[in-house]
Structure 1
Amino acid sequence: MATMKATGGASPSRKITVLSHVKYEHLVAGISGGVASTLILHPLDLIKIRFAVNDGQTPAPQYQGLRNAMTTIFRQEGARGLYRGVTPNIWGSGSAWGFYFLFYNTIKTWIQGGNTKKPLGPTLHMVAAAQAGILTLIMTNPIWVVKTRLCLQYSEADKTRLPESKRYVGMADALNKIYCNEGIRGLYKGFVPGIFGVSHGAIQFMTYEEMKNTYNQYRMVPIDTKLGSMEYLTFAACSKLLAAALTYPYQVVRARLQDHHHDYKGSWDCVCRTWRYEGLQGFYKGLVPYLLHVTPNICLVFLIYEKFTESS
């Protein structure tokens, strides 16, 4: 009986040790940064998606650059048009950043054995970021499908050309119709390129962490020493630019698979058709508005996150 009690008492202890690495302030900080940046920068995200899915084969509005896209959408669809899909984007960005920071910091702290001053090196930083990215993608992919489709409802006239099952009046309606007409598979369209996109977050976080660590080592202070706002902003921007340059094509493929105006057989079919009709530049459509969107976006997210966790 005593043995059973002793054995039974050890299990909760181990569980508490694992759970002790979970700090929910990372979740709240990530949500705060994601929501704030999305509210400010959503129009650029919408334009990036519209450029990315425009393959020249499917009827879609044609824009002559970023400024023309902004003015055309405002003239034809009003200010509301620039914020199509903002609701799922807020839900998606908030939950994605929240879960990502929560998972990433939990995994990283677990690898460090609870010692935040222990450096991990590039490989382990990438492993932690990749694992966090996959877990986050599983939880948020349906929201990104809805966001993409709402962003691609160009106007009321465009809606009339689509069957009723593909006309959406909001986030809840889109989730319901996609599930009812396409099943779980419809909610997870773009998941495969999204898995490849995990490398984007892994490269970004690895670069960001290594830059912070190297800088603190140069200053001869512990690697978990807090930095100033400009240092956070600089490291966040550099890490995002590097990750975007290396991995952007997956975003084009993912957006096209999620677009209800296209009908691809799968990821490979999308890649082949993009290459056949548009060449290499087809995989980089929307890159300029993407960089203009994500660079200040990531700076805001990381700055809010670092300052939030610093004060908590």
Structure 2
Amino acid sequence: MSTLKSSNTNPGTIGNQNNFIDHVHYEHLIAGISGGVVSSLILQPLDLLKIRFEVNNEFNYNPKYKGIIDGLTTIFKEEGIKGLYRGAVPSIVGSGVSWGMYFYFYSALKTLKQNGNKDNHLTSTQLLVAASEAGAMTLILTNPIWVCKTRLCLQSQNQSSHIVSYNGMIDTLVKLYKMEGIRGWYRGFIPGLFGVSHGAIQFMIYEQMKSVYSRHNDLPLSSKLGVAEYLTFAAGSKSIAVCITYPYQVVRARLQNQFYSFDGVWDCVKKAWVFEGWKGFYRGLGTNLLRVVPATMITFVTYENVSHSLISFKE
């Protein structure tokens, strides 16, 4: 894909902005946090159910649910509204921090590759690299939050008494560290790194959709688009990325599960294949799509509008 440069670009200015720090702006951090928090608040019950479906297999986690409606109604009957929002605090914190840091790093890395000109169109490879780098940096900072969220979401009132119980996010982090050390905070980190490809694919497709739309309508790449465009691009890019990379999420959730212990990533993959076949790697996919596609739409629309507003206000 050819590179387009805006006619009003000042080469001297771009030449002086050739390092990562020059392109780090708080507006993207705030906008990303806003999008992550809003979407997480709205869709937490589906996120909870998705995690329980992921670890719901032939040899460990109970209770078992027959489907999305049965799962939500059963949780509500047995655990009340509080049950539907188990793990909500680390979910909201994790989602807000993850999206905030991701957009924060990604926007800087992308602008760096654009040589400071936000209207330059990048190739698919450049977008994949920028998104992968941002994803890896974000995962290192947020993995303990996701382990905490998984442990809290998997708790239920009818679990065995010998299973460790957690009372909130801080209690979970402390108990994890005392019982498992730093390694406990980073359970599922390796498949999480594979998951970086998920974000990379999603952002690459999302950015290319925006690029094609901008070219077709003769608009600068940095132009603010309408809500309908952002919703369409977010839904399309997320759906494709989820279908391609979903198995890693199942493996990651099972490694973080406190009810069963696997001897590493390969052991988890092998047992899932032996006992469940390929379908085992797609448990909870329907619930996940039902949750993450609207979540991504909400996140991206919120991010794009908040970031454009903050940048316009600053300018």
Following superposition, the deviation at residue 58 of structure 1 comes to: 1.1
TM-score for the superposition, normalised by structure 2: 0.92
Counterpart position of 2:299: 301
Q: Partner residue of 1:222?
A: 220
Identity %: 54
Find the counterpart in structure 2 of residue 112 from structure 1. Answer: 114
Compare the two structures and name the one with the higher helix fraction: 1
Equivalent residue number for residue 13 of structure 2: none
**Deviation of residue 161 (structure 1)?**
3.4
Q: Is the 8 A contact 2:20 2:109 kept in 1?
A: no
Give CA deviations for 1:99-140 in whole Å, capped at 9, x if unaligned: 000000010111111111111111000000000000000000
Task: Read off the aligned partner of 2:81 and give its amino acid letter.
Answer: A
Is the contact between residue 159 and residue 167 of structure 1 (CA under 8 Å) also seen in structure 2? no
CA contact (8 A) 1:33 1:301 kept: yes
Aligned to 2:229: 231
| CA distance 1:223–1:259, shift in 2 (3 Å) | same
SS at match of 1:279: helix
Question: Shift of residue 224 of structure 1?
Answer: 1.6
Shift of 1:291: 0.4
What is residue 11 of structure 1 aligned with on the other side?
Answer: none
Distance 2:18 2:208 in 1: 30
Q: Provide closer, same or farther for how the CA distance between residues 283 and 17 of structure 1 changes in structure 2, counting only shifts above 3 A.
A: closer
State which of 195, 198, 207 in structure 2 corresponds to 1:197. 195
Q: Note closer, same or farther for the CA distance 1:26–1:63 as it changes in structure 2 (3 Å cut).
A: same
What is the alpha-carbon distance in structure 2 between the residues aligned to residue 132 and residue 16 of structure 1? 18
TM-score normalised by structure 1 residue count? 0.93
| Equivalent position amino acid for 2:32 in 1 | G
- Paired AA for residue 29 in structure 2: L
Cα distance between partner residues in 2 of 1:204 and 1:126:
9
Letter in 1 for 2:190: V
> 1:20 deviation in Å?
2.3
* Correspondence 1:66 to 2:68: yes
Deviation, 1:310, is 1.3
- Return the alpha-carbon distance in structure 2 between the equivalents of residues 16 and 85 of structure 1: 41
Q: In the alignment, what sits opposite 2:266? A: 268
Q: Does the Cα contact within 8 Å between 1:73 and 1:82 map onto a contact in 2?
A: yes
Residue identity opposite 2:24 in structure 1? V
CA gap of 1:134–1:149, structure 2 versus 1, over 3 A, is: same
| Higher alpha-carbon deviation: 112-121 or 80-89 | 112-121
- Give the gaps of 5 or more residues in structure 2: 1-15, 311-315
Q: What displacement does 1:19 show?
A: 2.4
Superposed CA deviations along residues 66-102 of structure 1, whole A, max 9, x for unmatched, are 0000000000001100000000001100000000000
Q: CA deviation at 1:59?
A: 4.3
Matched residue type, 1:225: S
Instruction: State the partner residue of 2:59.
Output: 57
Question: What residue identity is the alignment partner of 1:67?
Answer: I
Aligned to 2:178: 180
Structure 1: distance between partners of 2:195 and 2:19: 32
SS, match of residue 260 in structure 2? coil
Are the equivalent residues in 1 in contact too, given 2:18–2:115 (CA < 8 A)? no
Root-mean-square deviation (CA, aligned residues, Å) is: 1.4
In 2, Cα distance between equivalents of 1:238 and 1:159? 42
Residue 255 of structure 1 corresponds to 253
* Alignment size in residue pairs: 296
- The one-letter code matched in structure 2 to 1:175 is L
Partner amino acid for 1:112?
Q
